[in-house]
């Protein structure tokens, strides 16, 4: 096996011009705006619009925790290096600040002027303090006394009580006090952290409000009775605030000898990393806002003044508290594949031919059943699986433990560094090890992002490999929310390839070339470029030439250059890029033949599919765990697998065409880096790709 690939750039000055590339961070913000637009779409169920608003807030949190934090560090260290787009870190931060500020302002406007009034019209009310009835006020006081007061810890600021360390993204209050305390000291300031264990939305009992869905914000209750925390003093001002901190973990992989222990030691720092953003209530006096900025060592540009709760993401719990199916997306039942009905022997089904699953339209149950059956099948000798994100309550983890308990050889590659799932993955790894599973953490310096499951079974005195390969995580919950492909096969060469990758992950040895699979960081980037170049050569030879790729992100400058060259040669290129896209389509003389669209809808588009027309010969279709980003192509262990079954290949190509015909949930990218909604013409039928696939595969 060759050495790991690097992000090598072709030395073509014409394709290195900064104006040919979109800034990565600004493109990510543009994606979040597309998500936000869903909250404004009145054709969507009301509680789903609320969800989209919350997702936008959560996305922006992570954007600041990781991307903005990284840019700030570059500036702090004097970095001036630009990306392919030519923006310096300082210039990028300035543009991010302006665009993020506009987005946040619109978020609260939609919340206050559209969503909350519409919820009120549906009998779902957030009661304002000034509107509480006598009964509601008495109930809120009792709730404060019995549920909040015993667990809250107000901190008066003085030389003996300096400004406290506030947790990342936690709700806090800064309180102005007058009068004297018990020791004769004059007022001043206090910080009141809201207990994280308490819900941010409090359901008022119907017997108190005479309505089934009346709610109070925790912040409103604390604000109302904050004076009770400081007897003999007057709380003359109380204002919410929240600080977002750098949450990227750093582990020196050259120095550590135990990655799990190193990550465990690093996790607490995420709660108290350097501050990168401060949110305060918009009625907070300027003097107090500047005081907070000083304490967190932030500048004016890092301050966001908001008209409402400082953490919109906590409103995500509202749809679960309200039993109103009419205000949510209609429920559906994912279909079981025809070859895999309930109770089928999975090994018999897979032996009869490859089986493709398209989640969430088709059920994730066969994947779970595959591992469950393998765990109790006396002919199964070994199970090997990669786990990136799976959840502590995973039925797959339980099945793997059962298999180990039954004496089977079970090996699990757990990626400990899956961002924001590190703690869960450490717990899973520890639990698996305690139950006799062989656990490894992949390759130091390379995240293991591949999605692979291998079962070795003895049949007629020979060993046979059964494989599941996917584009998404082995997570039964996200399989209901993310679109992904999963392939079952017992193809001998694919099974051998998967075996070799597992051997490489556990031994770090150089293996022979793979038969069918492309693997990052060794052959995936070069394999993609080889096929893009082949399409360009076919176009020059007047042969059929087309590329369709459905991915989550396109950042790799090397891949973009190859696509630009293919476009110049006349290759028709359709890219379905959900999130970040640094390629500019429609640039004269460079990318006229490239079209880029993004699908944002009920489900998170997560499938990675690559289609190459191959000059009219047998077309090639690959599914993969990897996006077209440097981190996926050269910094991770990823798998990319071909679709060999012609019927399945045709099905995937048809799916791609459905996405390319979407005129309900699609956004088109232009050469100026702007996205616009794709809408149906007067004489065109309305096509929603996700709804069409739901209608095709899933029952109500």
Name every residue whose Cβ is closer than 8 Å to that of residue 303 and which is 6 or more positions away in sequence: 278, 280, 289, 293
* CA 505 and chain centroid, separation: 25
Please tell me what DSSP assigns to residue 410. E
Residues 6+ apart with CB under 8 A from 504: 1, 511
Q: For residue 8, list its beta bridge partners.
A: none
Residue with tokens 């050889």: 409
Query: How distant is the alpha carbon of residue 592 from its chain centre?
Result: 31
The HSE-up count of residue 249 (CA atoms within 13 Å, CB side) is 22
- Indicate which residue of 223, 313, 358, 449 is catalytic: 449
b/e string for 531-545 if b means 16 or more Cβ within 10 A?
Answer: bbebbbebbeeeeeb
Tokens 């941010």 locate to 200
As to burial, measured by CB atoms within 10 angstroms (0-12 exposed, 13-18 middle, 19+ buried), residue 352 is exposed
Structure-token match 């977002």, residue found: 244
- Whether the CB-CB separation of 597 and 660 falls below 8 Å is answered with yes
**122 contact partners, CB below 8 Å, separation of at least 6:** 46, 324, 327
> For 64, how many CA atoms within 13 A lie in the half-sphere containing its CB?
25
3-state SS class at 472:
coil
Q: Which residues contact 511 (CB under 8 A, 6 or more apart)?
A: 1, 500, 501, 503, 504
Q: Inter-axis angle of helices 218-225 and 134-143, to 10 degrees?
A: 90
In angstroms, the CA 528 to CA 79 distance is 32
Q: What are residue 615's phi and psi, to 5 degrees?
A: 65, 20
Concerning whether 438 is annotated as a catalytic residue, the answer is no
Distance CA(232)–CA(187), nearest Å, equals 10
User: What burial class does residue 682 get, using C-beta atoms within 10 Å of its C-beta: 0-12 exposed, 13-18 middle, 19+ buried?
Assistant: exposed
d(CA 566, CA 689): 27
Q: Tell how strand 409-414 and strand 438-440 pair up.
A: parallel
Nearest to 651 by CA among 481, 417, 485, 431: 485
Nearest CA to 590 among 573, 567, 557, 572?
567
Do 459 and 490 form a contact (C-beta atoms < 8 A)? no
Judge contact between 495 and 465, C-beta under 8 A: yes
CA–CA separation, 571 vs 563, rounded Å? 9
Non-local CB neighbours of 630 within 8 Å, separated by 6+ positions: 7, 555, 556, 557
For 363, 469, 668, the CA distances from 648, given in Å and listed in that order, are: 17, 14, 28
* Residues forming the active site: 449
């Amino acid at each position: 096996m060759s050495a790991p690939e690097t992000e090598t750039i072709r030395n073509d000055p014409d394709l290195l011009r900064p104006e040919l590339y979109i800034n990565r961070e600004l493109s990510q913000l543009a994606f979040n705006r597309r998500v936000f637009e869903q909250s404004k779409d009145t054709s969507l169920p009301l509680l789903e619009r609320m969800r989209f608003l919350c997702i936008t807030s959560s996305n922006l949190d992570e954007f600041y925790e990781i991307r903005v934090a990284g840019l700030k560090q570059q500036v702090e260290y004097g970095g001036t290096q630009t990306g392919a787009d030519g923006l310096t870190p300082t210039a990028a931060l300035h543009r991010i600040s302006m665009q993020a500020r506009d987005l946040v302002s619109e978020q609260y406007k939609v919340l206050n002027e559209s969503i909350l009034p519409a919820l009120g019209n549906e009998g779902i009310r957030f009661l304002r303090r000034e509107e509480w009835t006598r009964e509601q006020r008495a109930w809120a006081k009792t709730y404060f006394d019995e549920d909040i007061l015993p667990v809250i810890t107000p901190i008066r600021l003085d030389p003996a009580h300096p400004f406290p360390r506030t947790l990342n993204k936690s709700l806090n209050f800064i309180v102005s006090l007058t009068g004297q305390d018990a020791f004769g000291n004059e007022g001043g300031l206090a910080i009141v952290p809201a207990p994280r264990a308490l819900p941010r939305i409090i359901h008022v009992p119907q017997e108190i409000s005479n309505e089934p869905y009346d709610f109070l914000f925790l912040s409103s209750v604390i604000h109302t009775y904050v004076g009770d925390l400081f007897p003999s003093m007057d709380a003359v001002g109380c204002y919410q605030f929240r600080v977002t901190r750098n949450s990227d973990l750093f582990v020196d992989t050259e120095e550590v000898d135990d990655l799990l222990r190193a990550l465990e030691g690093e996790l607490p720092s995420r709660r108290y990393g350097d501050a990168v953003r401060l949110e305060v209530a918009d009625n907070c006096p300027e003097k107090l806002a500047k005081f907070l900025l000083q304490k967190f060592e932030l500048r004016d540009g890092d301050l966001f003044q908001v008209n409402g709760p400082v953490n919109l993401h906590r409103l995500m719990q509202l749809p679960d508290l309200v039993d109103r199916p009419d205000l949510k997306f209609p429920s559906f039942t994912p279909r079981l594949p025809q070859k895999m009905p309930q109770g089928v022997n999975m090994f018999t089904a897979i032996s009869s031919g490859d089986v493709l699953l398209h989640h969430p339209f088709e059920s994730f149950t066969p994947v779970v059943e595959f591992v469950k059956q393998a765990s109790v099948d006396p002919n199964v000798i070994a199970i090997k699986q990669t786990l990136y994100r799976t959840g502590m309550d995973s039925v797959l983890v339980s099945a793997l433990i059962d298999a180990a308990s039954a004496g089977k050889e079970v090996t699990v590659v757990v990626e400990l560094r899956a961002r924001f799932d590190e703690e869960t993955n450490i717990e899973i790894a520890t639990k698996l090890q305690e139950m006799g599973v062989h656990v490894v953490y992949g390759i130091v310096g390379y995240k293991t992002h591949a999605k692979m499951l291998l079962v070795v079974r003895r049949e007629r005195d020979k060993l046979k490999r059964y494989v599941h390969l996917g584009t998404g995580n082995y997570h039964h919950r996200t399989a209901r929310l993310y679109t992904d492909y999963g392939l079952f096969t017992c193809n001998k060469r694919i099974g051998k390839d998967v075996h070799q990758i597992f051997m490489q992950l556990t031994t770090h040895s150089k293996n022979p070339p793979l038969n069918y699979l492309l693997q990052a960081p060794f052959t995936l980037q070069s394999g993609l470029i080889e096929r893009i170049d082949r399409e360009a050569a076919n176009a020059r030879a007047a042969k059929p030439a087309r590329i369709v790729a459905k991915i989550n992100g396109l950042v790799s400058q090397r891949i973009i250059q190859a696509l630009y060259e293919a476009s110049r040669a006349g290759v028709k290129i359709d890219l379905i890029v959900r999130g970040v896209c640094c390629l500019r389509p429609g640039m004269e003389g460079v990318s006229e033949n490239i079209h880029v669209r993004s699908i944002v809808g009920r489900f998170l588009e997560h499938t990675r599919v690559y289609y190459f027309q191959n000059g009219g010969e047998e077309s090639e279709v690959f599914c993969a765990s990897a996006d077209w980003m440097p981190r996926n192509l050269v910094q991770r262990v990823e798998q990319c697998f071909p679709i060999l079954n012609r019927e399945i290949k045709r099905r995937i190509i048809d799916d791609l065409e459905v996405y390319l015909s979407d005129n309900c949930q699609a956004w088109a990218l232009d050469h100026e880096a702007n996205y616009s909604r794709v809408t149906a013409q007067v004489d065109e039928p309305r096509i929603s790709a996700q709804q069409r696939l739901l209608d095709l595969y899933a029952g109500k």
